[in-house]
Chains A and B, each alone.
Chain A
Amino acid sequence: MFGSGKNKITLESEVYEIVKQASELSGCSSVEEFASQILMRESQAIVSNQSAVKTESSDVAKITEKLRGLGYLE
């Protein structure tokens, strides 16, 4: 409940202004949402290129279990 993993990063004012402008143009509800998504997307692309993950049968079992009861699935 406490220390929920929110960290701050500092941007130069000029960078912030461009980020803000881009956020508005892309239809985001806030600058924070925009910045988080862009950083996440770019970072994930780098990380996933480095680390293909082998699917184990335990992964499949876990997924099957989690999706149980959704109705739209077998």
Chain B
Amino acid sequence: MTKKKLLCQIAPYVLVAAAAVVSLPIEAFAYIGPGAGFALIGSSFVFVGTAILGVLTILLWPFIALYRLVRGYGVPRNARARRVVIVGLDGLEPKITEQMMDSGELPNLAALRASGDYTRLGTTLPALSPVAWSSFQTGVNPGAHNIFDFLTRDKRRYLPVMASTEQRKVSAKGLMKLVGLSRDREEVHITRRSKPFWKILGERGITSNIVRVPISYPPEPFYGNILSAMCTPDLKGTQGSFSFFSTDTKAADGTGGQFRPFSRSGATLIAEIDGPPSADGGNLKARVELHVKEHSAQLKIGESTCTLNVNQYSDWQTLEFKVGKAVIRGIVRFCLRSIEPAVTLYVTPVNVHPEFPALPIAAPLSFAKYLVKMQGLFGTLGLMEDTWGRNEHAINDDLFLAQSYLAHEEREKMFFDSLKNTSAGVVACVFDASDRIQHMFWRYQDKDHPAEKESNPNSYSTIHEMYKKMDGLVGRIKKQLKPSDILIVMSDHGFASFRRCIGINAWLHQNGYLVLKEGTKPGTDYLRDVDWSKTKAFALGLSGLYINLKGREVNGIVSKDEMPALKAEIARKLSELRDPKDNAPTINKVHDTAVAYRGLYASEAPDLIVGYLPGYRVSWDSVTGTVENEIFSDNLKAWSGDHHVDPELIPGVLFCSRKLTQKAANIVDIAPSVLSVFKQPIPKYMEGKVIF
């Protein structure tokens, strides 16, 4: 055996050993904020431990190999494929896909349809990415995996909170506390329950490389590699906070607190970028200096410099935030937006540095470091495309598009590297650009959309071009595959226009189900002026309504006996809601989750879920509990396409390189089908059927 071959065989075990050190314990968690977590993860202890375990693993390798052979680990000989390659194109809409395939504009997808199979893929209730991709992973309905929306509610406060993670206080104890190696702290845990199919495969020695599949933060260690995706925070702990600096104090006074003035030192402009939360309740800062020239600017960060050209993104730049002796590193891209009349600078959210991760963005952590070695720095934020920055005009459409494709290119490199390194097992990667670009550019292909359109004529074909780009990606993937592989190309939901906003809380208020405190008027956010002693129902999140149930919500008034009739009444009335603008119906169906969901977590779900008709969505303000004056309003934001319509109206796509055994496919079918390909028993709790 050659040295190279031997190293190749040993490498996975060394990686597994490294994973064992950096990812102990098995429960997935993340530190939030600076402190012991940052210090410990970055300490030399981890590396010394890794080295020792690495040596031990090499010595034990023959015994491990023998054990696995005896136990029948790995892809069995009678498996129907050596590899299952899953390419997720988030939000790819079947109607557009089918039309473009038929007109010859998507030759690779059309060929895949012809040589393999294609069908529309049923999605979850509601048709939201965190919900649908959770069902993809686990093969169960939301009632059994516990993700019903991006948001859920704090039952003791009637406030929205992130649905996919929760914070827990953990007290240090035992020997580790005594010797000072452990202290009380807060951890973040993933709240998606049940078990991803790659974890089940891993228990049977079949490895997977899972790249940016939504709802994987914090990542759960398993026999394989995983890089976190949607809902991975930035270093501030938010879902993505951009910064915008300006010499014009008016421009620097924009919304959201992210617009800041530069400070000056002579001719030098100074920007202080917010980083991780600090002990005093503020944020640690990183200082950068800008020296403006005639057509560009020189940016100085510490000792390094780079040139910024107007309306071009810089490469990723490292920022350092000092806390005591520890240094927390993050990465950002800069974009000089203008020099005249004012100097303005856009800075992306501060992503967790993938080479020195302050938060566990991968399992094992060394997977992120490995990817940096292979392809250079890459963005780690869950939602990489700055839709908020575009909505607030910190960037324009062209810059949003450029940013989306920069993230997409990074994703492609990760995917192809994983594909190359996986000789047997699963490779799964979700590409988000298809979703984000449709969200932000839908107004260009909907002539009736009320939102403002920019003057660039290319914007009208952006979505069309994006579909072609995704088709090209599929073509390049197909070239890398062997006959023994199965290729799946899929989306989690389709897309529709979002022209009109519906204030669900305003509707509940006007229909007497939600009552405001005496003397208050509509308009306050976070349900703060609601009189809970008289309120029967409220809305939080993107599609859910909750009954103010006694014994469940802290100030609940509706009894369990009253609840079914109340739900039926609200569902019936809401289903009849018409748009006063043209008397058009707005809602396809209001779903009772007691009927729609099954499983241990069904009682955690909203009580009713609204399935809108295309063109409509919950209003921006109602999502976070604002009781607005008016029920209906125009959607004037660049975010002009969406997919909160009734799931039966917005399926995704499913392509398979082999014939499907059934055409009626649903996203819950993927997990059991993958297990079946590898001849693994399908757990009884999985609801999906085998379709390939």
Contacts and interface: CB of A to CB of B under 8 A. Distances in A.
Give the secondary structure class of B's interface.
Answer: loop
A59 interface: yes
A30 interface: yes
B378 interface: no
Nearest to A74: B620
A69 B238 contact: yes
Interface residues of A, number: 39
Nearest to B542: A72
Of A2, A38, A63, A72, most buried by chain B (CB within 10 Å of CB) is: A72
Could you say which of A4, A28, A33, A38 has the most chain B C-beta atoms within 10 Å of its C-beta? Answer: A4
Contacts of B324: none
B623 A72 contact: yes
B532 to A, nearest CB: 10
B172 A63 contact: no
Contact of A48 (B155, B176, B187, B193): B155
A60 B159 contact: yes
A73 B552 contact: no
A67 B683 contact: no
Contact of B600 (A34, A59, A71): A34
B29 A4 contact: yes
A74 B623 contact: yes
Contact of B554 (A3, A5, A37, A52): A52
B157 A59 contact: yes
A27 B600 contact: yes
Contacts, number: 151
Nearest to B626: A74
A34 to B, nearest CB: 6
Contact of A24 (B29, B177, B349, B685): B685
Nearest to A28: B600
A30 B193 CA distance: 10
Contacts of B170: 3-5
A66 B166 CA distance: 12
Interface residues of B, number: 74
A29 B439 CA distance: 35
Interface in B156-213: 156-162, 168, 170-174, 176-177, 181-182, 187, 193-195
B161 to A, nearest CB: 7
Given A65-B236, A68-B240, A69-B241, A49 B551 contact: yes
A38 B182 CA distance: 29
Q: Which label, helix, strand, loop or mixed, suits the secondary structure of the A interface?
A: loop
Interface string A1-26: 11111100000000000000000101
Chain B CB within 10 A, most for which of A28, A48, A55, A69: A69
B78 to A, nearest CB: 26
Contact of A1 (B40, B526, B598): B40
Q: Which 5 A-B pairs give the minimum distances between C-beta atoms?
A: A69-B240, A29-B195, A69-B239, A27-B685, A71-B387
Interface of B: 24-25, 27, 29, 37, 40-41, 138, 140, 144, 150-151, 155-162, 168, 170-174, 176-177, 181-182, 187, 193-195, 233-234, 236-242, 256, 349, 381, 383, 386-388, 436, 439, 525-526, 528, 542, 551-552, 554-555, 598-601, 603, 620-621, 623-624, 639, 683-685, 687
Interface of A: 1-6, 24, 26-30, 33-34, 37-38, 41, 44-45, 48-49, 51-53, 55, 59-60, 63-74
5 contacts: A5-B168, A26-B600, A33-B194, A65-B238, A71-B383
